[in-house]
Amino acid sequence: MAYIVLNSKPLQFGAVVREGCPGAFGMILARQSSISKTVLVDKPQRRRLTVDDFARMCEVGILAADDRVELIDGELVEMPPMGPAHAGIVNELANVLPALLGPHERLRVQSSVQLTRYTQPEPDLAVVSRDARQYLRKHPQPEDVLVAIEVADSSLSFDRDEKMPRYAAAGVPEAWLVDVGARTITVYSDLSAGRYRSAQTLLWTDEVVATAVEGLRLTFEEILPSAHFP
C-alpha cells in the first residue's frame, strides 16, 4: 500500500482512494502547489478523518453518492451491498413506521447521523426528533436520535460489535438490530454511562415495544410474514 505525506501529515491511499473513485489521485496531485513537501514513507502515522473531511471528499467527487461508505472512528468503512431480504425489510419498515410515530418524531431512511467529530454512520432507519429545518443545515446529532435501527445480514457482526456500542457511547437511548438470517430483533436499551444495560432478543412473532418513543410498537411477523422469505 502506498502512502503520501501532505504538509507532513500522512494520508493512507488505501483508505481513501478506492476503486470506483476515478480521478481522486489526480485531484490530490492538483493541489501540489499548496503542499510543502511530498515524500513516500514506510511507516506513516495514521491520521483520522473528521466528518468535515468526509463531507469535502463527497463534495469534490472522491466519494460518489452511491458509495456505501461510513465514517467510523476516523476511518472509512465500505459496507457490503444489500441483499433482497435486507432491502425488502428496510423498505417495508420505511412504509410502516411513519404511521406509528407521534407528531414530534420523524423517520429518516439510510441517512447519516453524526455521533462524534470522527464517527458518522448511516443507520438503515432512524427515528429522530421532528425538526425538518435543522436537518437541512446539519445531520442529526446524538441528542436528536431516539431509535437507531440496523438491518443486518452479512454485516451482522460489525453492526453488533462496532456500531451498537458507538450508538450507546454517543448517548442514543435505544437501538434495534434486525438479524435477517435468524429472523430476530435485538432491542438495546436502558442506557447508562455510555452503555446499553439491556439487550433483549425477540422473535419475529414477538411484539417490539420501543422505550424511547411512546406508542411505537409492532410485530414483524404481521408486516413481513416469515412465509414470504425464501
Kindly state whether residues 74 and 90 are assigned to the same domain: no
Lowest mean pLDDT of 23-27, 55-59, 143-147, 221-225, name the range: 23-27
**How much is the pLDDT for 43?**
66
SS3 73: coil
- Give the rounded percent of residues in the chain with a pLDDT score beyond 70: 80
Question: Helices in the chain by DSSP H: which ranges?
Answer: 13-16, 24-29, 51-59, 84-96, 156-158, 164-170, 220-223
pLDDT confidence band for 80 (50 / 70 / 90): confident
Give the CATH number for residue 205. Answer: 3.90.1570.10
pTM exceeding the 0.75 threshold for the entire prediction: yes
Over range 202-212, report the average pLDDT: 97
Residue in 176, 180, 26 with CA at minimum distance from that of residue 88? 180
Kindly state whether residues 125 and 94 are assigned to the same domain: yes
**How much is the pLDDT for 61?**
85
pLDDT digits (tens, 9 = 90+) for 127-172: 999 887 789 889 999 999 999 999 999 889 999 999 999 999 999 9
Residue in 180, 185, 166, 184 with CA at minimum distance from that of residue 70? 166
Kindly state whether residues 115 and 184 are assigned to the same domain: yes
Kindly state whether residues 88 and 198 are assigned to the same domain: yes
Residue in 155, 144, 85, 88 with CA at minimum distance from that of residue 111? 144
The answer on pLDDT for 26 being more than 60 is no
Residue 200 and residue 186 in contact, taking contact as beta carbons nearer than 8 Å: yes
Kindly state whether residues 93 and 131 are assigned to the same domain: yes
Of the candidates 47, 78, 109, which is a domain's last residue? 78
Residue in 161, 118, 121 with CA at minimum distance from that of residue 145? 121
Q: Which has the higher per-residue pLDDT, 195 or 133?
A: 195
Neighbour tally for 58: CB within 10 Å: 13
Provide the number of structural domains found in the chain.
Answer: 2
In the numeric block, which cell numbers belong to residue 92? 417495508
**How much is the pLDDT for 15?**
42
Angstrom distances, CA of residue 61 to CA of 16, 66, 74? 12, 11, 19
Kindly state whether residues 45 and 99 are assigned to the same domain: no
Kindly state whether residues 67 and 105 are assigned to the same domain: no
**How much is the pLDDT for 38?**
53
